[in-house]
């Protein structure tokens, strides 16, 4: 395959034109469409720069001051900065910034608290939970006995009566809170009361709302939970990775489960980039950003409802909305495909009590973190909401999709993304 000549040269362009071109194409794709996958975001140039540094060369098994390799003085500084900033951001006593992902953060917490065969109580993936909260196809569902809670049919809110009833009936050793497709705030204090009634460990996975939690726009689980896990790349807008927060008394258990328990060498370039992102998140600017994410999601939700669409739970408290397409007759897969053709990137998603399979689904999940990073506000959300309604009303109509694609192009031009060189 021959790469097109590029307008500038870089070491990568010279040595691997195919990958260079792929990165250029992906940069254009990200800027040329409306990114509405609720778990995605656009990191700062400073975070990108840090990920692409010589820190990737360093092995540093262990923790700052206690490494299994020499030459760790500078990566120790980076990891200490990441840990201290994260503690300040969330008010956590202990933080482990080494998990490569949210899944590994959850795995380490389970391994610190449970033996295979123990019972966990967590939100059903099909009702908004996450794979690592006990799905039978995931390690969590294979290693542990899983009891799942969900949302009430009418309100679409977590059914706390069901949580209490299951907790007392099944006596799980660990209760997991948190979700990947739940548009409402989670009441961690109420979960704590139930966990205490049965003596269970309480864990919150805040991968989705972490950036909102950091700025007080979603309740914090830190005062109520024994462990808090998160990813760093969603609303928190850092590099791809995970993190665990815990009380001092659990520090050793968590740290030893990450290394040597389930991981070897930490990704020091990513940990340094987490530090950069946490510094950004500590700023007042990030507070304004987080507030705008929520305002934007609410404006989007109101426009979609005004356009006749059903939303799970009727609206949103956070960064995401979940459209229930059941009454439209189209599937989530068809909705995702039509929106994609129109330049709006979303993901099909199960809705609670869905009758379709996971590869079809009856829902579409949308989020505002990435578009808010681009600088879009309520007026743009209302315009985008109206575009989404038109597309979902006419998913097979090429003319409608083409018209919306043109409007998306115009909107994107007004909110440029990564216009500077990203490689070289």
Catalytically active residues, by annotation: 59, 61, 205, 231, 234, 240
CB nearer ligand DSN, residue 181 or residue 194: 181
Residue number of the CB closest to ligand DSN reads 39
Q: How far apart are CA 96 and CA 10, in angstroms?
A: 36
CB nearer ligand DSN, residue 130 or residue 192: 130
Residue 180 found at the interface with ligand DSN (CB under 6 A): yes
Q: How far apart are CA 228 and CA 99, in angstroms?
A: 13
**Number of residues forming the site for ligand DSN (CB under 6 A):** 4
Residue 296 found at the interface with ligand DSN (CB under 6 A): no
In the complex, least distance from residue 39 CB atom to ligand DSN, rounded to whole angstroms: 3
Q: How far apart are CA 48 and CA 26, in angstroms?
A: 14
| Three-class DSSP category at 18 | helix
DSSP state of 54: G
In the complex, least distance from residue 49 CB atom to ligand DSN, rounded to whole angstroms: 25
- Angle 326-208-393 (CA atoms, 0-180°, nearest 5)? 25
CB nearer ligand DSN, residue 102 or residue 343: 102
CB nearer ligand DSN, residue 38 or residue 175: 38
CB nearer ligand DSN, residue 347 or residue 400: 347
In the complex, least distance from residue 241 CB atom to ligand DSN, rounded to whole angstroms: 12
Residue 39 found at the interface with ligand DSN (CB under 6 A): yes
Sheet holding 363-367, edge to edge: 310-311, 320-324, 363-367, 347-349
Q: Within a 13 Å sphere around the CA of 241, how many CA atoms are in the beta-carbon half?
A: 25
In the complex, least distance from residue 61 CB atom to ligand DSN, rounded to whole angstroms: 26
Q: How far apart are CA 81 and CA 84, in angstroms?
A: 5
**61-120 positions binding ligand DSN, by CB under 6 A:** 102
In the complex, least distance from residue 192 CB atom to ligand DSN, rounded to whole angstroms: 24
**347-349 vs 344-345, strand pairing mode:** unpaired
Residue 263 found at the interface with ligand DSN (CB under 6 A): no
* 398 CB-near residues (< 8 Å, 6+ apart): none
CB nearer ligand DSN, residue 102 or residue 219: 102
* 324 CB-near residues (< 8 Å, 6+ apart): 309, 310, 311, 312, 351, 362, 363
Of all helices (H) and strands (E), which one includes residue 365? strand 363-367
φ, ψ dihedrals at 167, nearest 5°: -60, -45
Of all helices (H) and strands (E), which one includes residue 35? strand 34-35
Residue 331 found at the interface with ligand DSN (CB under 6 A): no
CB nearer ligand DSN, residue 173 or residue 319: 319
- Where does 68-195 show beta strands of DSSP type E? 94-96, 119-123, 145-149, 174-177
| Three-class DSSP category at 299 | helix
**127-146 positions binding ligand DSN, by CB under 6 A:** 130
In the complex, least distance from residue 259 CB atom to ligand DSN, rounded to whole angstroms: 22
DSSP state of 381: H
In the complex, least distance from residue 225 CB atom to ligand DSN, rounded to whole angstroms: 19
In the complex, least distance from residue 345 CB atom to ligand DSN, rounded to whole angstroms: 12
CB nearer ligand DSN, residue 102 or residue 211: 102
| Three-class DSSP category at 406 | helix
Q: Which residues bind ligand DSN (CB under 6 A)?
A: 39, 102, 130, 180
């Amino acid at each position: 395959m021959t790469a097109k000549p590029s307008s500038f040269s870089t070491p990568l362009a010279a040595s691997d034109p195919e990958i260079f071109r792929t990165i250029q194409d992906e940069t254009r794709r990200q800027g040329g469409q409306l990114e509405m996958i609720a778990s995605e975001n656009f990191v700062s140039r400073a975070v990108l720069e840090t990920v692409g540094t010589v820190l990737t060369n360093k092995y540093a098994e262990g923790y700052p001051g206690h490494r299994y390799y020499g030459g760790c003085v500078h990566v120790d500084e980076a990891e200490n900065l990441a840990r201290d900033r994260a503690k300040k951001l969330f008010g956590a006593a202990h933080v482990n910034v080494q998990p490569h992902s949210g899944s590994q953060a959850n795995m380490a917490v389970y391994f610190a608290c449970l033996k295979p065969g123990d019972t966990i109580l967590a939100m059903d993936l099909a009702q908004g939970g996450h794979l690592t909260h006990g799905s039978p196809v995931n390690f969590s569902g294979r290693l542990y006995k899983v009891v799942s809670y969900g949302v009430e049919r009418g309100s679409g809110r977590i059914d706390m009566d069901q949580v209490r009833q299951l907790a007392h009936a099944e006596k799980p050793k660990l209760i997991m809170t948190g979700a990947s497709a739940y548009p409402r705030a989670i009441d961690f204090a109420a979960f704590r009361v139930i966990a205490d009634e049965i003596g269970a460990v309480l864990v919150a996975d805040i991968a989705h709302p972490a950036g909102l939690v950091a700025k007080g726009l979603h309740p914090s689980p830190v005062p109520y939970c024994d462990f808090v896990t998160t990813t760093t790349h969603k609303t928190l807008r850092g590099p791809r990775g995970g993190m665990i927060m815990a009380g001092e008394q659990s520090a050793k258990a968590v740290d030893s489960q990450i290394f040597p328990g389930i991981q070897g060498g930490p990704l020091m370039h990513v940990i340094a980039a987490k530090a950069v992102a946490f510094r950004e998140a500590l700023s007042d600017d990030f507070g304004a950003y987080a507030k705008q994410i929520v305002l934007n999601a609410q404006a989007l939700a109101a426009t979609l409802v005004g356009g006749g669409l059903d939303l799970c739970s009727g609206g949103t408290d956070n960064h995401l909305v979940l459209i229930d397409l059941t009454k439209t007759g189209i599937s989530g897969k068809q909705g995702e495909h039509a929106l994609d053709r129109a330049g709006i990137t979303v993901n099909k998603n199960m809705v609670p009590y869905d009758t379709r399979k996971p590869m079809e689904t009856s829902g579409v999940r949308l989020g505002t973190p990435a578009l808010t990073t681009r600088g879009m506000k309520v007026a743009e959300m209302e315009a985008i909401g109206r575009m989404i309604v038109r597309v979902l009303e006419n998913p097979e109509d090429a003319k409608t999709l083409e018209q919306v694609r043109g409007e998306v192009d115009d909107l994107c031009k007004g909110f440029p993304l990564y216009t500077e060189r990203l490689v070289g």
